[in-house]
Every structure is written in C-alpha cells, then in structure tokens.
Amino acid sequence: MKTTVWNDEIGDHTAKLLFETGSYIVDFKRPREDWFLWKSGIRAPCYCNCRYLNRSYLAYEACTAYIETIIRLKFPETQIIVGLASAGVSWAARIATRLTLPMSFVRGAAKAYGVGKLVESNPEHGIKGVIIDDLCGSGDTIFRAIEALEWEYQIKTLGVITITNWCFESMWAKFDSLKFGGIYSLTSYPNLLKVGVANSHLTQEQSDMLAEFYRAPKTYDWPLLRKEESE
C-alpha cells in the first residue's frame, strides 16, 4: 500500500485552490506563542484547513470532480461513500450524490447516548466503501475509521481519498499492516511548496524552511526564525 497524488496537474491545481481560498495559511510574522496547533500536537507557523474550500463553489466542485474520477477509475466496486467527521462529511455527501451511492460518516468518538456507535447511518453490513477526508497528517483518524467500519459493520475499506496529504514517514508505517487499495490525495505538501513559490505566496527561503520542517516536523526548531527573533 502506498499513497500517491493522483497526478501533478491536479496536484498543482488543488494546491493553487488551497492558497486562493486561504485554506493553507503561512504566517512567519506570527509570534511563536501564537503559532497554529495541529491535531497531532505540532505547533508551526503554517496550517491547513480544507473546509475553507467550501467557501468557493468552483473550488468545491473542482475537488469533488477530481475525487469522483479517482473513485470511478480506481475503486469501481465502491458500494458506499464514507466521510470522516467533521471535515470529510461535506465531501462525502456531495460525492455520494454524484455517484448515486449511499453515504455514511464516522465520528471521532461514539455518542454518549442513543446507539453509541462510531459509524452513522446504519449502513448495510459487509459492503465495500471508500473513505473521504480532508487531510492525512498522522493518519490516526483514518486508521481508527477503517477499524470502526470493519468492527461495527464489517465494511471493507477499498481505499482512502483526501484533499491533501503531508506524507510523513511515520504515517506510512501506520498503514503497512492493512490490506487495502491505498490512500490517494489530490495534492501534497511538496505541491503546496512548489505552487506557493510559483505564485508568489512564498519566497524560496520560506519554502526551503517549510521543506526542512517537513523532514522533521516534531523536532524542527526554525533556526532562521529564531535568529530573526533574537535580533
């Protein structure tokens, strides 16, 4: 199993949409104590919120069409579209409608009332599904969703599709034990850096710093920024 950006053209266009809608934020002037907190616990002067794509009908429709194409070509056996709460739900709902398939979503935690399950919509048991989420960082949320679908409804995950993917090495190892069709993403961190420089959202020096951060996100100390702070 390996994750891959579907193709470079889609990767670059999606990255451009992320910048244009303000979904990918880079603010090197932000005080270090006010840096963005990622779900994984990392603090950094950059952050991605793919929900902002929903502010633009054209961006939303473009990404939806890309995801639909991947499902039709790579996962034609798909019987249900599964969104991950909360960011993946709007994408899953639209794509399920376009493909005329049932839709479900997986909660981050089971409700404390009612049936108390992680998987919502009471889907048919034993069918095959594709998971949709906005971003793959640590991979923890996706991994738990695959397990929940199998445990609660014996749903086999054919593959996962995300808007973007940080492709951290620690994430790859998490999915090595699972047998499924892999994780496909519309764009990736390298695409964002390339497009950011090409469209003047980032300087080359900033892109280089972000590339260094990418290689060791939990330990990188942003030395150039620290130097500026001390001057």
Q: How far apart are CA 109 and CA 91, in angstroms?
A: 20
Strand, coil or helix: 128: strand
Please report, for the domain that includes residue 222, its CATH number: 3.40.50.2020
Per the structure, the count of domains in the chain is 1
Q: Render pLDDT for 17-54 as a digit per residue (tens, 0 to 9).
A: 999 999 999 999 999 999 999 888 889 999 999 999 99
Task: Give the residue numbers spanning the domain of 196.
Answer: 4-230
Helix (H, G, I), strand (E, B) or coil at 15: helix
Tens digits of per-residue pLDDT, 170-201? 776 777 777 788 899 999 999 999 999 999 99
Q: Indicate the pTM of the whole model.
A: 0.92
Closest by Cα among 131, 177, 190, 187 to 1: 177
Which residue type sits at 1?
M
Pairing of strands 24-26, 80-84: unpaired
pLDDT of residue 227: 58
